[in-house]
Each structure stands twice: as C-alpha cells, then as structure tokens.
Structure 1
Amino acid sequence: MNGLSARTGRERPARAALTRIFEPGDERAGRWLREVGPVELMRRLTVADGSAETLKGMTATRLSGYRLRASTADPERDLSDVAGVGGRFVCPGDPEWPSQLDDLSDARPIGLWVRGLPDLRLWALRSVAVVGARACTPYGAHMAASIGAGLAERGWVVVSGAAFGVDGAAHRGALAAGGATMAVLACGVDVAYPRGHAELIGRMVEQGLVIGELPPSEHPTRSRFILRNRVIAALTRGTVVVEAEYRSGSLVTARNAQRLGRYTMGVPGPATSGLSAGVHELLRGEGVLVTDAAEIAELVGEIGDLAPARRGPVLPRDLLDPVSARVLDALPRRGAMEGRDVARTAGTSTDEALGRLYELHSLGFVEREADGWRLTVVRTRNGGARRGDT
C-alpha cells in the first residue's frame, strides 16, 4: 500500500466506513483489507456483483450481516462528527499513525478515532500502560496513582482504559503531576464511558489524548472491552498490572503484551488478597516485579534510566571500621569489661583495643566504668533503654 494513500482520495472515508461495519480485532476482515485494500473491500460489501463471495472465509450469513451494517454507514457524517468535537481519524500510512500497532498484523485497527492535540505517534513512542481492577482496594488505587504520577514526572505517557479503579487512579496521578496521559476507549471517542468519568475524560481531551477504534456515538460491549486491550498492549512499551483477579481483563492486556514482545510487569500485593492473585500468577511466569515508577522506567527506558539503589537505613555503627566494630561487639550487653579482656575477645592487642575504646567513647558508643568499659545506655522515647544500638 502506498504510504500516502491513507491520507488522500477515497481511502480515508472507506476506512471510516469499515470501522462501523467490522468489529475491532476482526482478523478475517484484516486479511481482506490487506489483500484488496479498503476501497475495493467497501465496494464488494456494498455492490451485489458476486465479488464479495470470492473473499476467503466469506459466507452468506456473514455477508448479510456486513451489508446490513454497510447500509447505515455514513463515513462523511462520522468524519464530520468527530471533527465537530475537535477530533480526527488517523489511518495506517498517516504520519501520526503509531507503527507499533502494525505488530498486531491482521488484527491491527482499521483506523483510530482521536481527540486531543498531541501527536499520537510521538506520544506512543514513550508510553507505558497501567491497568488493573475496577473494584480495586485503597492500596491498589494508591499504587496506581503513585506510579502514574512518577512515570509522568519522568516524561512517560501513562496509557490506560479510563475505567473505574486502577485505570482512573493512574490517569489522575499523571494529570496531577502535570504529565501526559492517554485513554483507549471501547466506545466512540465522543461517548463518556463510564459516565462517572465524564469529567476525567474531558480533562484528558484537553490535556492529553483519547482514542478508540469505534466510530462516533458507538457504545461499548463486553467483547469490545476485551478487544480494546490488545491496542493498549501494542501501543505501549510495557504493561504494568496493579491489581487483578485470576479472571481479569487486565491479565488479557498483559498476555497480549507478552505475545507482542513488550515488557510485562506486576505490582505485588498481600498474598491473602484475591485482587492480587492474578498479579502474583503473572509474576510467577514471565512478569517482572515492580514497586514504583523508577523501577518501571529502568526496565522499559533507555540507558541511564536507572532506579536508585535499594537499601535499608544506615545506622551509625555501620560506619565503623572492621576493628572498631569487633571491639564494640566484644563488650557484653550488661556490665563492664576490662580493656585486656576486650582485646582478647576482639582478637587484637591491648593497646589497639584501648585506642579503639577511646575512639568509641568519643563517638558515644561506650562509657568508662571504674577500670572497665561498658556499652552506652540509650534512652528510648517510651522511657525504655537499649545498649549499643546507635
């Protein structure tokens, strides 16, 4: 196919019409589209000259259903309607088309209806999907929002499905950080679904992107939600699942990402939580455990996107040299010990032990008691005491 043909002539209206005739992800339709092109395919579906019957896999029942839908298709009206809400229709071959969607082969979208000012292709180049349960826990919502904000602060586009729960939290986290976020809908881009997220979707139209495969006014169905997930997986560099049960659409997105060679990540949760069971199953396979945006960026990013080193708090005694640490360890938890006995226990000379004890005294680790040495007693906030733990 000529790279310019998607942007000129009759191909764009033909593709727009076909989005109203075929369901998203229809690989049979994708094969026909590849073999005969959108204009010829549209002609065969609307002209009763017998040419449609020559398409491999076409049956009389299928053709009847396609023609019924084709009879109501009005691509010029759909293109006008999406333009009326500030949108556009992006086709394969357009400069704005994200070429990574071509990895879906015959299941790639016929085209994408888009609302929002940013360039879809450029945003998709540096994007990460954050998906999870609709009925998420407060922990899941917190993690999704934190990851969304952290990725946005690092210059990544946060992609999700605008659903309740994890999706909405990830979008809001990115928006709160003043970053970029994109919603992939299972309905027309002029339809606010779910209705409870009408304001959120409106903010994404103004500050980000809202995209979908279905033409204006189309409403979602159960199958369309599942098929939408393949677009989320293909569009992004990697998919992060925050919370998901064993049977979850989020895991469908993750499995699509794995098949496409994208990074697949999971945020662990309590082992007793059913909402984390699907994530843990993912992590037992090829999924990578992540806990924050830094770890995600390190995995999917370029050289230099390194997460900070992880370690516990540094205690004052961690900074002691090995000999001083041995001398300190030689002192008993209770009572005092003479320097000669400290040296024997620490495995050093008496002079060396005494020199280290005086250093430890100046640092507040030990105290003199008559002719001996003992650990300093440290008072805790609740009035208790501990020895030598500073």
Structure 2
Amino acid sequence: MDGEVLDRVFLTRVVEPGDELAGRWVREFGVSEVVRRVRGGRALPGVSARRWSGLRARAARAEPERDLAEARAAGVRFVTPGGSEWPGQLDDLADARPLGLWVRGRPDLRMWALRSVAVVGARACTEYGAHMAVTLAAGLAERGWVVVSGGAYGVDGSAHRGALGAGGATVAVLACGVDRPYPRGHTELIARIAEQGLVVGELPPGDHPTPSRFVLRNRVIAALTRGTVVVEAAYRSGSLVTARAADRLGRYTMGVPGPATSALSAGVHELLRGGAELVTDAAEVIELVGDMGELAPVRRGPVLPRDLLAPATRRVLAALPGRRAAAADEIARGAQTTPDDTIARLYELTALGFVERHGDGWKLTRQAVMSVRTGSQHG
C-alpha cells in the first residue's frame, strides 16, 4: 500500500474537510511529516494547544488500514491528488483542496468532471423548481454533460433524477461517508446513482454529516464543475454558497429566474442582479460552459404574415388608418413614397387579403387589423 495514500486516509479522520491550516501544513511539510507530528511529535505552527489536543485525540482513534478495508468491501476507492483519476480542477481550491476523495461507482471521476455542470437549489423547492431541475438536468444529460449535485431533497434530488431518467451521467457529492447515504429518504436514489454514475465524498466510511460539512462540501461541487446553476434559492440558501464559491474559482455562475413574489426565487434573483448569467434551459447553460460554437438557438416570436412582406409594402400597410378608408395620396404621405408606388402596393396588399377597396379609398380588412394588433402584442 502506497504510504502517502495511507497517510491521507489517516488525515481524513483527523482534520475536517476544507481545513486550510491543515492544507498549508501538507503543502509546507508534506503529508508524512504532518501525520508523524499529529501522532506524537511537536505541534505544528498556527494551532492552539486546545485544538492540537483535539487533533491528537482524533489521531489516536484513526485506523486507516481498517477504513480502506471497509471501503473496498463497499466498492469504494480512495482517489488522491496527483493520481490518474484525480480531477485537476480541484487544485484550484489551493489549501482548501480535499486530502482525497472517496469514490463509489465505476466511471472515471477525472474524465467525467471535465464535462460537468452543477445543478443545485432549495431543499424545500416548489413544483416549479423541481420541474426546472428535472428538465435542465435531462437536457444536459441528453447532450452528453455530467450533472453534479449534492444528493439532498428538493432541487438536488430532482436534478439527479432528471439525469438518470434521460439515461445520462450524474455525480452526487455527499457531506458524509459515501457508504452511508444521507438523507435516509434518498437511500434508493443514491444507490441508483452509484450504479449508473458516481457518489463522491471527502469523509471516510461511516462518517456522519454536520451543518458545517454541508457548507464545506459545496466548494467541491463548485470546483469540480465548469459552472453552477442555481434553480431556486432563498436569501440564506446553502446553494448560494456553492454559486459564490464557483464565482471565486472563475467558474460560470448561473441562475434560473422565478416569480418575483416567490421567497424561494429571491436568492437567485439577487445572484442575477450581482452578475450571474440568466439561463432557462440546457442549451443556454451549454452555450456558456461548452466549447466554442455550442450556441443556444435564437429565440424569436411567431412569424406573422405581415413579416413576410417587403419593407416598402409593410410601410404602406402601416400607413393605413385603423378604422376608416383613406385615399391613396394620404397613404402615400404616411408611407413616405409616391402615390403611384402606393397604389401598386395597395393592389398587392389587396391580393394578399390585407386591404380592400372602398370607392376611391382603401381600408384595412378585419384580418389585417387583427394582424396589426397581434404584432403589437408580440413586439
């Protein structure tokens, strides 16, 4: 067994995820020296006596060989920085980089992370939020993108289900041991993710989640992916932590708008006001995070019959009064053209059903009046 791997497994029992002081120790002294000191050597710099005592107490109970054996029995592997399966983008976390990741599932984490998007949001989401999460995730999965989320209730679970339902790839990043699905109500879902995708976490087998671990887990979701989409979020939502972490890391930060009256969209709207990108479907997400040329389709309203007219003919049509007949010279002045040109275009409009002759005047047909009204509504 590689000594550094064993040392990193040991430290996952001793220090909390995202501990930047411990990360600095590893960077400055090396993993083996940190392990030696924690096991009984001189205290490392920057730590209080009380905290050092706590770390030593944890170290006394750590059994890395047992953790690895339990992981193997559960079909879990331990991936370390610099290894062939390590996603290099996690190195952007600097001293907050994970010591390693416990991975459950067959696919290669590094390869999957290269083309991945985080879809996160409120646990107590609305039907709208659940629908948007499912639709976005399914659309991303169908286009070959990996959907990453946190395995929680609400938006997270909907995103995972959307990707799975489309036969696509999804990764759940947990705030506990990957052999202990949390929340309990998602045991079946997380088992399905492990079968069809990947379940990932920083904590060793059997470890439990805490509020702080949920928050720290979010930095991994942000760093692992090319961008983060927040579907629904109140002002104090944990998913906004993920979005802000993504922004700090230089990843794309995106939000799905919702009703202005919804408290569960208030956090997303604040994110959008702060400069996040507004997205409404998978194509718009991919336009941001994808390769050059992966553009979303141009959004247009319906094509109306008058849109097919030549510009000069449209000007003549627009110059006709809405409720009365008008002489050709009056229409010509409104269209800024000659009476002869106007009369020729009026006959064209008559043949197309837009205009009808009334003695010496010309008047819009009922069809044309409705077309003008409809056009103004779409304009």
TM-score (norm 1): 0.90
Match of 1:151 among 119, 140, 154: 140
Judging changes above 3 Å, is the alpha-carbon distance between structure 1 residues 345 and 61 closer, same or farther for their aligned structure 2 residues?
A: closer
Judging changes above 3 Å, is the alpha-carbon distance between structure 1 residues 83 and 371 closer, same or farther for their aligned structure 2 residues?
A: same
Judging changes above 3 Å, is the alpha-carbon distance between structure 1 residues 58 and 388 closer, same or farther for their aligned structure 2 residues?
A: closer
Aligned partners of 1:376 and 1:387 also within 8 Å: no
Q: Deviations over 1:218-253 (max 9, x none)?
A: 110001000101111111111111111111211111
Q: How many residues align?
A: 374
CA drift of 1:389 comes to 5.2
Question: Could you say which residue in structure 1 is the equivalent of 2:199?
Answer: 210
Question: Could you say which residue in structure 1 is the equivalent of 2:130?
Answer: 141
Aligned partners of 1:333 and 1:387 also within 8 Å: no
1:9 is aligned to 2:22: no
> 1: distance between equivalents of 2:198 and 2:16?
22
TM-score (norm 2): 0.93
**Larger mean Cα displacement after TM superposition, 222-231 or 172-181:** 172-181
> 1: distance between equivalents of 2:312 and 2:97?
66
Letter in 2 for 1:343: A
CA drift of 1:341 comes to 4.2
Aligned partners of 2:160 and 2:170 also within 8 Å: yes
Q: Percent identity?
A: 69
Alignment root-mean-square deviation, CA: 1.9
**Larger mean Cα displacement after TM superposition, 135-144 or 65-74:** 65-74
CA drift of 1:143 comes to 1.5
Question: Could you say which residue in structure 1 is the equivalent of 2:347?
Answer: 358
CA drift of 1:387 comes to 6.6
Letter in 2 for 1:218: D
> 2: distance between equivalents of 1:225 and 1:292?
27
Question: Could you say which residue in structure 1 is the equivalent of 2:15?
Answer: 22
1:160 is aligned to 2:149: yes
Judging changes above 3 Å, is the alpha-carbon distance between structure 1 residues 344 and 24 closer, same or farther for their aligned structure 2 residues?
A: closer
1:106 is aligned to 2:99: no
TM alignment of 1:328-343, pairs within 5 A: 328-343=317-332
Structure 2, gaps ≥5 residues long: 375-379
CA drift of 1:346 comes to 2.8
CA drift of 1:352 comes to 2.0
1:274 is aligned to 2:274: no
Match of 2:227 among 238, 246, 267: 238
Match of 1:37 among 5, 8, 30: 30
Question: Could you say which residue in structure 2 is the equivalent of 1:84?
Answer: 73
What secondary structure sits across from 2:356 in the alignment?
A: strand
Question: Could you say which residue in structure 2 is the equivalent of 1:122?
Answer: 111
Aligned partners of 2:228 and 2:242 also within 8 Å: yes
TM alignment of 1:250-261, pairs within 5 A: 250-261=239-250
> 2: distance between equivalents of 1:136 and 1:387?
41
The 4+ residue runs of structure 1 with deviation greater than 4 A are 387-390
What secondary structure sits across from 2:321 in the alignment?
A: coil
Structure 1, gaps ≥5 residues long: 1-7, 380-384
> 2: distance between equivalents of 1:346 and 1:104?
64
